[in-house]
Amino acid sequence: MDDVAAWFLALYKTTGIKLTIFYDGYDRARFFQGFVTTVKLSAYCLVLSLVLGALAAWLTGSHVAVVRRAVTGFVALFRNTPPLVQLYFFYFALGPLVPKVDGAPLLGSFGWAVVSLTLLETAFAAEIYRAGIEAVPKAMVEAAASLGYSRWQIYRLIMLPLALRATMPAMTNNLVNLVKTTTLAYAIAVPELVYMSAQIWSEQVNVPEMMVVLLICYVAIVGLINQGMQWLEHRLRVPGFGQ
Amino acid sequence: MLTSRAGVALLAAFVASIVVAQVQAIPGQPSVVELLVKWTPLLAKGFLFNLLISFFAMLVGTLAGVLLGSARISPRPPVRGMSWIVVQFFRNAPWLVLLFFVMFLLPFEFHVGGTTIPFPDWIKATLGLALPIMANVAEILRGAVQSIPTAQWDAARSLAFSRRQTLWKIILPQCVKRMLPPWMNWYAILTMATTLASIVGVSEVMTLTLRITNAEGRTDLLIPIYSYVLLWFFVYCWPISLMTRRLEARYEVR
């Protein structure tokens, strides 16, 4: 580790390429914290949106018209308005309404970012699930119904496992989008990767270097996700479907 | 299926927030409706600016994307490989990071000979937003070309068409139709992304909204004004996504 730090310090002294995150302990800790926050934010939103998206997709098939309409309205609303305005709406407009606990608001900027991005991703996930559910052969659902499965059982045991597999490519895209959208949280001062990098480059005046580091970080995260999802897709493959 | 219900819901939220604000209004202060009316011309100007940015970014992104997409389907492996890297890079980098990149690393003015050409923030933001559009249009083009049956290429070759002729006269005309729905979809996404320009200091609708709320310093204005801006975007983007759905259904390959 010391060798790496020494090498980057030497790099700065000889070429002027200033990568403080490799030799300055404070900057390194900040950058790492930003990275962890980005990962945490993505993970929370991912898990919540997968669960809520499945629920929303299930509700779009509901027999109660009001529920069906409410869900389609929710999906259309979140897909057709700018994510940044949604985030501002939650943080600036709804934020002050939340009661305070011990002087601190119940939801901080991180909390609101989770809420806002989760709802956005839920809208996208619901659409993807819906497409996946439509891809499940009707005959299979009818067969399950004739074997006495209840509506919930059919959904959970027959449709969801098949739909999940059909939606894998779209879900990968969605996950990549989610990670990219977490950068918006910068606007409400969530200490994620972009925010921390911006702090570093405004103090150290090394904008080009930090920009490149930032881009490499995101491209690497996205690359890892793509690889991981491909592996998962391969593992979950059901014989007899696709090629 | 998309319905107008979201718009109705948004409108209802907007109206409800105004009603609540009106009921709670303190006498002697201008009402929320008066404030919204007062600031509407400014917000409209900001919104038009967003649309302007989206038009230019789409134009630049599409032109560059068609070039990049042509490189993606080139028969020469090095060209294909290089363009693949470019596409992957710009598709996978977050929009905001690309925007920062362009904002900070391009100069604010150019010196050509003795004259100084200014390079304002909003043009830089437009270029920054055009980059991801470029990469995505390239992918749309490649996908569309690949969706044309190989038999057509073979048939064209047997009729002595050159590769260029085949592409221009047979393949691409069919691609335009298939590219239109995803292209419109990206336009809607881009329009919504233009609000990102506020983070890097362009005076578009989001920046103006923040300034207005700061200037008025009224907490009861917050929900109405944000739902108002949301409503504007929804009214603009929703017909586009509806039309996209229709076109997709009509051009669906069965």
Q: What is the CATH number of the domain that holds A118?
A: 1.10.3720.10
pLDDT exceeds 50 at position B248: yes
Give the pLDDT confidence of A181-208 residue by residue, as tens digits. Answer: 999 999 888 999 999 998 888 888 888 8
pLDDT exceeds 90 at position A13: no
- Pick from A22-36, A98-112, B150-164: least confident: A98-112
Subunit contact B226:A223, Cβ cutoff 8 A: no
| Average pLDDT for B70-78 | 89
Positive or negative, the Cα torsion across B77, B98, B95, A218?
A: positive
Say if A95 falls within a structural domain: yes
Q: What is the model's pLDDT at position B38?
A: 85
Q: What is the model's pLDDT at position A20?
A: 81
| Average pLDDT for B80-102 | 89
Q: How close does chain A come to B44, measured CA to CA in Å? A: 16
pLDDT exceeds 90 at position A36: yes
Instruction: Name the residue range of residue A91's domain.
Output: 2-235
| Average pLDDT for A28-41 | 92
Contact A183, B96 (CB under 8 A): yes
Q: What is the rounded distance in angstroms from the CA atom of residue A134 to the CA atom of residue A137?
A: 8
Q: What is the model's pLDDT at position B1?
A: 39
Subunit contact A183:B209, Cβ cutoff 8 A: no
Q: Bigger pLDDT: A27 or B8?
A: A27
Subunit contact B192:A82, Cβ cutoff 8 A: yes
Contact A6, A14 (CB under 8 A): no
- Domain residue limits, chain B: 32-251
B126 reaches A (C-beta below 8 A) = no
Subunit contact B230:A86, Cβ cutoff 8 A: yes
Contact B92, A176 (CB under 8 A): yes
pTM: 0.82
Subunit contact A183:B94, Cβ cutoff 8 A: yes
Whole-number mean pLDDT of chain B?
85
| Average pLDDT for B201-218 | 86
| Average pLDDT for B115-125 | 84
**b/e map of B112-150 (b: 16 or more CB within 10 Å)?**
eeeeeeeeeebebbbbbbbbbbbbbbbbbbbebbeeeee
Percent of chain B with pLDDT over 90: 22
pLDDT exceeds 80 at position B145: yes
Grouping H, G, I as helix, E, B as strand and the rest as coil, residue B110 is strand
pLDDT exceeds 70 at position A132: yes
Say if A242 falls within a structural domain: no
pLDDT exceeds 60 at position B231: yes
| Average pLDDT for B144-159 | 88
Q: What is the rounded distance in angstroms from the CA atom of residue A62 to the CA atom of residue A173?
A: 27
B85 reaches A (C-beta below 8 A) = no
Of A93-102, B31-40, B111-120, give the range with the top mean pLDDT: B31-40
| Average pLDDT for B225-243 | 87
Residues 172-231 (B) with a CB less than 8 A from some CB of A: 188, 191-196, 198-199, 206, 209-210, 213, 219, 222-223, 225-227, 229-230
Q: What is the model's pLDDT at position B5?
A: 65
Say if A241 falls within a structural domain: no
Task: Work out how many domains chain A is built from and give that number.
Answer: 1
Residue among A73, A81, A94 minimizing CB distance to B230: A81
Asked if the B32-251 domain carries CATH number 1.10.3720.10, the reply is yes
pLDDT exceeds 90 at position B106: no
Say if A96 falls within a structural domain: yes
Of A18-22, A44-48, B17-21, B173-177, give the range with the top mean pLDDT: A44-48
Subunit contact B101:A74, Cβ cutoff 8 A: no
The residues of A whose Cβ lies within 8 A of any Cβ of B are 69-70, 72-77, 79-86, 88-89, 92-94, 96, 176, 179-181, 183-184, 186-187, 194, 198, 207-208, 211, 214-215, 218-219, 222-223
